[in-house]
Amino acid sequence: MITLAGIIGSGKSSLTEILAQELGTTPFYEPVEDNPVLPLFYQGNEIAAKRRSAGEENVSNPYAYLLQTFFLNRRFKMIKQAKSGTNNILDRSIYEDAMFMKMNTDMGNATQIEYQIYQELLDNMLSELKFVSDDSNADLMVMIKVSYETMISRIKKRGREFEQIDTDPSLVSYYHNLLNYYSEWASSYNISPFLIIDGDKYDFVENLADRNHVLDQIENKLVEINSLTSQQLQQFKQRRY
């Protein structure tokens, strides 16, 4: 299984689609458009920030735990489906979900009790998934790393109102904080082989040369971890170049 990781607006869904078409495998996308909780979460963040600025203490976002549990449940289902084939692709990691829950707890958007229940649920799910693969069939984590400026540019381009800093100025500090958490998460991730793609340098959506370079990086890594053969690699390259 291949998992794409990266902050909001990094291009996970786009690269998931590109990579699935390249490899002829199945993509599994994060539930956003059919997620009834996500807009509520952003509203809850804004309300909580205003209440804190007014001097209230111990203010949490009432939708943080609900949102993260929603994502965890969907992710668990998609992982089981993705593991039924070879090199199927997820456009977000279950470990990122856990990072989001930790960040929301640290920020006060979720309570310690909610975090503890979430972690127990996550641990139970991971024990069922048996995530650690043997060397002959390793999973690959691919992180798209982008700067704040690139992230905001792409968020504006896709136009979801509840994600815009112009609509909710409190998102500026939230996004900067999220970048810091992603940096810490990437530096400590050791569950499976890990590849970082420079999302500032390579525009794999609109620039064909950049796209091919990114695909080469991923496919070379797949060969290295025995998830793709050298013959398959050459076939993919011949088809593209």
CATH number of the domain to which 88 belongs: 3.40.50.300
Cα–Cα distance measured from residue 83 to residue 80, given in angstroms and rounded to the nearest whole number? 5
How many domains does the chain fold into? 1
Q: What is the pLDDT of residue 133?
A: 44
Cα–Cα distance measured from residue 86 to residue 69, given in angstroms and rounded to the nearest whole number? 27
Q: Which of 220, 202, 168, 236 is nearest to 11 (CA)?
A: 202
pLDDT tens across 177-190, in order?
A: 999 999 999 999 99
Tell me the C-alpha to C-alpha distance, in Å, between residue 81 and each of 28, 41, 71, 124: 9, 27, 15, 18
Residue of 91, 106, 134, 198 with catalytic role: 91
Annotated binding site for ATP: 6-14, 154-158
- Can you tell me which residue has the tokens 């530096």? 187
Q: How confident is the model at residue 240 (pLDDT cuts 50, 70, 90)?
A: confident
Radius of gyration in angstroms for the set of CA atoms belonging to the chain, rounded to a whole number: 19
Q: How confident is the model at residue 134 (pLDDT cuts 50, 70, 90)?
A: very low
* 195-200-205 Cα angle (round to 5): 85
Q: Name the residue range of residue 167's domain.
A: 2-240
Annotated binding site for substrate: 30, 42, 68, 92, 97, 163
Tell me the C-alpha to C-alpha distance, in Å, between residue 174 and each of 102, 106, 114, 168: 13, 12, 20, 10
Q: What is the pLDDT of residue 52?
A: 83
* Residues ≥6 apart with Cβ < 8 Å to 237: 216, 219
* Residue 135, pLDDT above cutoff 50: no
Percent of the chain at pLDDT exceeding 90: 65
Of 33 and 105, the structure prediction assigns the larger pLDDT to 105
Of 31 and 89, the structure prediction assigns the larger pLDDT to 89
Q: 58 — alpha (psi -120 to 50), left (phi > 0) or beta?
A: left
Determine phi and psi for 6, rounding to 5 degrees.
155, 160
Tell me whether residue 218 is exposed, middle or buried, using C-beta atoms within 10 angstroms of its C-beta: 0 to 12, 13 to 18, 19 or more: buried
Name residue 90's beta-bridge partners: 3, 28
DSSP 204: T
8 A C-beta contact, residue 109 and residue 64: yes
Name residue 2's beta-bridge partners: 89, 140
Q: How confident is the model at residue 130 (pLDDT cuts 50, 70, 90)?
A: low
Please say if 166 is a catalytic residue. no
Cα–Cα distance measured from residue 134 to residue 201, given in angstroms and rounded to the nearest whole number? 33
For residue 39, the tally of other CB atoms under 10 A from its CB is: 14
Mean pLDDT, rounded, of the chain = 90
Q: What is the pLDDT of residue 32?
A: 66
